[in-house]
Amino acid sequence: MLAVDARDLIKRYVTKRRRGLFGGEKVVIEALKGVSFSFEKGSIFGLLGPNGAGKTTTVKILATILLPDGGDAYIEGFSVTKEAHRVREILGVVFSADRGFYARLTGLENLIYYGMLYGLSRFDARRRAEELLDLVDLGDSRHRLYEEYSLGMRARLALAKALIHDPSVVILDEPTIGLDPVSSRRIREILKKLSREGKSIMITTHNMWEAEILCNYVAVIMSGRIVASGSPEDLRKRYGGQRYVEIEVLDPPDDLRVGDFEVVRNDGEIAVLRTRSSEDIASSIEKALLEARSLGLRIASIRVREPSLEDVFVEVVGNPTKI
């Protein structure tokens, strides 16, 4: 079963372009131009794209906050346009880590309040809140006022709030933006745990490395259209470019030249040489070592550089004609 199935989503905004002090004309901005994607239950999906590409608009439609001007989307089979109340029962959403809370309530009190809004009894809301605070490592801070929470703590509390009604699908818009490395890692660990437990996760992010280690499937959106989609491995093969063998050598000569190697750095102390790798990585490494040693170079390290999801993103967004 599909967790999310977006079909030809279209969204237009009408704004006004100023001309002089008082004049102007209406302008229609096409935020989404037929966006389609889907992903399976229990997986982690990443929607990637530059600023203004349409990521947040897409999330707001899935969250039943915006109505599309065309198309529809389904959360576990329920239409976001025709069955919004059913969608809200099974969907948890995080738009911002530091909004939607009461500063003078504790973390626990905030979660109890939202649990009761979802129809839980006070007893059940408290039990669920305490479970979630432990899940997001805020158990020891449950009685601290929200205004005393750091940004990282607020991000984890926002995730706990999205989970208060035990949704089967969770959507997070830039879940680690602005967080320190420790807080970001904890958020990623929680998302992986939730996925292993069967929850379906969708994130939007600018962090390509994060998407690469988290997501089973990703889609790249640009100017309101999906321009590439697939597993990170598939996209690396399709758009990510060539695998390279890189060698670091010590005390290189100024006029260093080694066969098919490209000198990508030479500061007199360390040089980095790079050559394209064949499908047989072992033979490529062996050939690289033999060439370097034949010139009497002192080898400091050798490594294989695989194309990354960031390479894919740069290729797709920077060179749309190659799509």
What pLDDT is attached to residue 319?
Answer: 63
Point out the least confidently predicted range of 136-145, 183-192, 223-232, 296-305.
Answer: 296-305
pLDDT for 65-120, tens place per residue? Answer: 999 999 999 999 999 999 999 999 999 999 987 788 999 999 999 999 999 999 99
Q: Own/partner pairs for 129-132, CB < 8 Å, 24+ apart?
A: 129/160, 129/164, 132/160, 132/163, 132/164
Distance of CA 225 to the CA centre of its chain: 17
d(CA 66, CA 202): 18
Neighbours of 206 (CB within 10 A): 15
- CA dist., res. 174 & res. 155, Å (int): 10
| CA 79 to chain centroid | 24
Question: CA-CA-CA-CA torsion for 15, 34, 91, 85, nearest 10 degrees?
Answer: 70
Q: Would you place residue 281 in the very low, low, confident or very high pLDDT band (cuts 50, 70, 90)?
A: low
Confidence of residue 235 (pLDDT cuts 50, 70, 90): confident
Bridge partners (DSSP) listed for residue 83: none
Q: Which band of pLDDT confidence, cut at 50, 70 and 90, is reported for residue 320?
A: low
* Residue 160: both structure tokens together: 């706990």
| Single-letter residue type at 208 | M
What proportion of the chain, given as a percentage, has pLDDT over 90? 56
Single-letter code of the amino acid located at 211: A
More confident residue, 208 or 64: 64
Highest mean pLDDT among 139-148, 204-213, 242-251, 272-281: 139-148
Structure tokens at 32: 């989404």
- pLDDT over 60 (residue 321): no
pLDDT > 80? residue 21: no
Residue 51 is predicted with a pLDDT of 85
CA distance 61 to 11: 9
Amino acid at position 273, single letter = L
Average pLDDT over residues 131-159: 95
pLDDT attached to residue 39:
96
Q: What is the mean pLDDT of residues 8-19?
A: 85
CA angle 44, 45, 51 (to 5 degrees): 135
Percent of the chain residues topping a pLDDT of 70: 92
Highest-confidence range of 130-139, 172-181, 289-298, by mean pLDDT? 130-139
26-67 confidence digits (pLDDT tens): 888 899 999 999 999 999 999 998 888 999 999 999 999 999
Q: Can you give the pTM of this predicted structure?
A: 0.78
Phi, then psi, of 55 in degrees rounded to 5: -65, -50
Report the pLDDT value the prediction gives residue 86, as an integer from 0 to 100.
Answer: 96
Confidence of residue 279 (pLDDT cuts 50, 70, 90): low
| Per-residue pLDDT band at 318 (split at 50, 70, 90) | low
Check residue 241 and give its pLDDT. Answer: 62
